[in-house]
Amino acid sequence: MIAANASQAFANATGQAIYVSSTPEMIRRWSEVGQAITAAGYTQVHASPMHWHRETIGTLNAFHRDNDPLDDTTLGLSQAFANMATAVIVQTTDLSGPELVARISEALQDRIVIEQAKGVLAERYDLDMAEAYQTLIAWPPAKPGDTLTRIATHIVELAEHGRL
């Protein structure tokens, strides 16, 4: 599983990649988040920095369930995906600092509502988070052309009003 994370939670202060391959290290490094990662069955995390104009704007986190060490090819691909994700976020136009912050904030807000909907579905239907995500992406849209974020918002709203 790969997740974009615009916070610095998985990056170190130098903006370098981080590779953690043990449960104790995940819990030591990320406390409650590390516990949640391991509880979800992940055994390794590789965080590739997302750089823009020499600034680290976030990380792309790859979560692994197997115990096989990641080879240089896999680590290189992870960084390549982080670079592509950065390009998609900032596109090819020059963005001012506030525009970049707004775009990252919007992406994070979208991700938050998706995680909330997964939590609602997991609780309501007694699913693990992977099953909840599969249920979310299979959920019929309220209107043609609805995005995953809009569907997730609709699910959260239904739950808030006791209609789910």
Q: How far apart are the first and last CA of the chain?
A: 27
Interatomic CA distance for residues 100 and 92, integer angstroms: 12
Least confident of 64-68, 71-75, 132-136: 71-75
Are 4 and 107 spatial neighbours (Cβ–Cβ below 8 Å)? Answer: yes
Interatomic CA distance for residues 37 and 144, integer angstroms: 35
What pLDDT, on a 0 to 100 scale, did the predictor assign at position 124?
A: 94
All structural domains of the chain: 2-92 (3.30.450.40), 104-160 (1.10.10)
What pLDDT, on a 0 to 100 scale, did the predictor assign at position 92?
A: 61
Least confident of 21-25, 57-61, 116-120, 123-127: 57-61
What pLDDT, on a 0 to 100 scale, did the predictor assign at position 70?
A: 83
Report field, pTM of the whole predicted structure over 0.85: no
Interatomic CA distance for residues 56 and 47, integer angstroms: 12
Q: Grade residue 2 by pLDDT with cuts at 50, 70 and 90.
A: very low
Task: Report the 10 Å Cβ neighbour count for 123.
Answer: 12
| Residue 99, both tokens | 């525009």
| Residue 82, both tokens | 């982080």
Residues in CB range of 6: below 8 A, 6 or more apart: 50, 57, 58, 104, 107, 108
- Does residue 131 have a pLDDT over 60? yes
| Residue 158, both tokens | 């239904």
| Residue 163, both tokens | 């209609």
**Predicted confidence (pLDDT) per residue in 74-117, tens digit:** 888 888 888 888 888 777 667 787 887 888 888 888 888 988 99
What pLDDT, on a 0 to 100 scale, did the predictor assign at position 144?
A: 86
